[in-house]
Amino acid sequence: MANLIKTVFLNKKLFLKRLIFFSSVFLFVFIFALTFYLIFKKHNDGEIVSKKNKFLYLLIRWNNGLGFSILKGKFTAICTTQSIFIILQILILNLCKNTSEIISLSMIISGGVFNFFQRILSKQKQVLDYFCFGFFEFPIFNVADVFITIGIVGFTICEIVKLIKMSNV
């Protein structure tokens, strides 16, 4: 145990990488929990909160599916799939070298973890979605979904830049 602690603190890059990851995850999960609390506490399922803004408004809905209603109503399959993806992302995180990749994966992992625990802990066994685009037909989503999407885009950009740099060498 002492060797493990010594290794983590002596290897400054590894320590910094983990500090960035855990700090990011803590901040992101706090943001998700706060938005969930503020919306869930004040509004009911199916309630349209404000449609004054035609671009984006709040429509409260419980979602029993995975992204775009994949595996709708299949609780065990959803939880298994989410667990596998979270574990894979954590394994990929160990290969990351730069801060942008770490933060992108932190966004994906924290969004997945929040949705996973919300599904497990809610009495509905579902995830609360509440953002809705008003100008075209699009699935309702939540803040964790936004972070997952931004994280995927960010990580993809990091990988493309890495490939471009490797091809130029």
Instruction: Give the residue numbers marked as catalytic.
Output: 129, 145
Write phi, then psi, for 43 (nearest 5 degrees).
-130, 160
Determine the Cα–Cα distance for residues 60 and 48; give it in Å rounded to an integer: 7
* Nearest partner of 57 among 47, 66, 67, 65, judged by Cα: 47
Residues in contact with 115: Cβ distance below 8 Å, sequence separation at least 6, in sequence order: 82, 127, 142, 144, 145, 148
| Neighbour-count burial of 127, counting CB atoms closer than 10 A to its CB (0-12 exposed, 13-18 middle, 19+ buried) | buried
Alpha helices in the chain (DSSP H): 2-10, 12-42, 75-93, 99-121, 143-168
Write phi, then psi, for 128 (nearest 5 degrees).
-85, 120
